[in-house]
Structure 1
Amino acid sequence: MDLIPDLSNAYKLQLSMFLEENRLESFKKWVFDDDQPCNAAKMAEAGFYSTATKSDPDLVQCFLCSKPLDGWDAKDNPWEEHLSHSKTCTFAKLKLPEEELTCVQFAAIRKEQLQNVYKKHFADLIQDRKDAWDEFCASIEEVAKMK
């Protein structure tokens, strides 16, 4: 049985980024070297995973609050930047690497992540159904005009 039923790959990717090691893996082509403050390990530690594109090579997203950020400088502190752009992010407010989280904090963050992802998923599904309904109604109106 699939524990994440009917979710798109984008949602599954976001859920997989809960663990720091998975986030770090996403930074294979990070724009800054390991000796810089804004290195891949610090980015992953601060909750980010890379969503970089050719046109936006330093685009990242938080696994919990989903905040996308780009325009990084080599001297940026990922924790400080995260909190300054997403003041309500539970993970950023803790300022704790994964290995320093208590079991209770770890579980609470995972619960929040699941809630956030499923809220977004269901909101998208509802919008899709509304769009389909609007399309259906418009086609009915077109048929009615033909008569």
Structure 2
Amino acid sequence: MSSNPLASVLFVCVHNAGRSQMAAGFLSHLAGDRVEVRSAGSIPGDQVNPSAVEAMKEVGIDISEAEPKILTTEAVQGSDYVITMGCGDACPIFPGKKYLDWALEDPAGKGVEAVRPIRDEIKTRVEALVAEIDAAARSQD
């Protein structure tokens, strides 16, 4: 197994407490060490949304130890893919990065029943992202 990841991905949302944490959990689970995973928020919350933690636990992914982190310029510069989920204009833009904006409902303040469809949409998008990263790596071989 190669020790160099194929790509680095940064997920960004406002509080880094729900959508970006679920996306990071799925990407780490699906891609393993093939992809370096980061997440951050423009105004990080105090903790990861308990409903997001519960919804992820239902699909066998534990994000209970994750902590919201502040978005830094260094994190954006160090990432090949920057995926925003409603962080507005707070996300700095650098040339050479692949930016994707995923319009996803904010799970803040919602129960686990309302978070499940958001979780499932994130999983679908992360699976497509993994396929794109793998295809890009194969095309460079």
TM-score after normalising by structure 2 = 0.39
RCO comparison, higher one (Cα < 8 Å, 6+): 2
Question: Greater share of helix residues, 1 or 2?
Answer: 1
